[in-house]
Amino acid sequence: MEFTDRKKKILCEIVKLHIATGEPVGSKMLCNAAGLNLSSATVRNEMSDLCEMGYLQQPHTSAGRVPTAAGYRFYIKELLGSNTLSPQMQQSIDRVIHKIAESPENITANAGQALSDLTGFPAVSLTLPEKGAAVKRVELLPVGRRTALVVLITTDSIANSRLCRLGEEINPHLLETFENLAEQKLVGRPLESFTGAYLQSVAASAGLFGLALMPLLSAIFNMVEALCHYQLELKGEANMYSFCRTEEDARRMVDYIRQKDAVYSLLSGIEDPVGVVFGDESGVDILKPSSFVVAKFGGGENRAGKIGVMGPTRMAYEDLIPSVAYFARQLGKAIEQAGLDLED
């Protein structure tokens, strides 16, 4: 059966109407809303063909049709090359990116929440480890007599921190010893070269302070180990409740996404600069009524990853796709600039 231009137009109009109304679309409704210069009988025949082709399906309780995942997929393919971002949304994204770029060390950590706030949907960010990344700076900030915050900043503009309790009270000699160790043994060292054995040798070189500094060195090892793997974050999870049928469904979906390996497998299959993953295609029941709009950011010498939003299958893709794509592009530029700023 030929997929004619008329069938394509009717399919796209049905998807748009279903997204707007949430209701199955009938031939009369379609003719009235879309202004098609066709009879209802002709539209019904075309809709029947589209059902046979797998682009539409008919709910048991209605004579109207709703899009299948294949129908949404075709509609989105048509959108990818044509939709543009409104000037208002572009300005909003520019303001948000400028704001989060004021903290270069936390730019990727804050990006997900910013995107969720902009779109009203939960945001998922997947940050990939950068080959060759090294320690840029290590700072120790005392917050109590035996408690300190150790901050690790990498050459690819990623910051991490841990609160540690030391083996003895913090004093100027201990701080000086740690600063010297960090400068001589940690700064400039590639992340992948940090091993437990290496940090034990660093502690041994600290002499009398070695035992007291072990909690700090262990924290640094744990942070480096985490940075050598992908990082997946869910932000704005409260927005999940706006499109899930029940609170229990929302909780189950949040729990599933926090199983990071499962979502990593789902998102890592996106190879294009911007793409959509339908929950119905994932084989996971809890994700069936949802979809992800995801775009790539960064790359080259800078930290790379993917960022996007999660929402119901019936989303305003014509707005979200260009918004997420532009956000990711601007985020990549901000990360590149942050890397330059941290080198100054």
CATH number for the domain including 10?
1.10.10.10
Which pLDDT tens digit goes with each residue over 12-36? 999 999 999 888 999 888 888 877 7
**Separation of alpha carbons 268 and 3, rounded Å:** 31
Higher pLDDT, 149 or 212: 149
Which residue stretches of the chain are H helix? 5-21, 27-34, 40-52, 69-80, 87-100, 107-119, 172-181, 196-205, 210-227, 247-257, 260-267, 317-343
Residue written as tokens 């100027």?
Answer: 172
pTM > 0.75: yes or no? no
Same-domain check for residues 97 and 223? no
Same-domain check for residues 95 and 76? no
Same-domain check for residues 251 and 337? yes
Tokens standing for residue 206 = 């600290």
Same-domain check for residues 218 and 253? no
For residue 62, pLDDT beyond 80: no
Same-domain check for residues 122 and 253? yes
Question: At which of 208, 227, 246 does a domain end?
Answer: 227
Most confident of 51-55, 102-106, 224-228: 51-55
Same-domain check for residues 206 and 237? no
Q: Contact 66/56 with Cβ under 8 angstroms? A: yes
For residue 328, pLDDT beyond 50: yes
Same-domain check for residues 107 and 241? yes
For residue 162, the enclosing domain spans 135-227
Q: What is the average pLDDT score of the chain?
A: 86
- 153: helix, coil or strand? strand
For residue 341, pLDDT beyond 60: no
Same-domain check for residues 114 and 52? no
Report the domain count for the chain. Answer: 3
Same-domain check for residues 121 and 236? yes
Read off the CATH number of the domain in which 118 is found. Answer: 3.30.450.40
Which pLDDT tens digit goes with each residue over 264-312? 777 777 878 888 988 877 778 888 889 999 999 986 655 678 999 999 9
pLDDT value at residue 344: 47
Same-domain check for residues 161 and 217? yes
User: What is the 3-class SS of 263-299, one letter each residue?
Assistant: HHHHHCCCCCCEEEEEHHHCCCHHHCCEEEEEEEECC
Which pLDDT tens digit goes with each residue over 76-134? 988 876 668 889 999 999 999 999 988 877 788 799 999 999 999 999 988 876 667 88
Same-domain check for residues 244 and 207? no
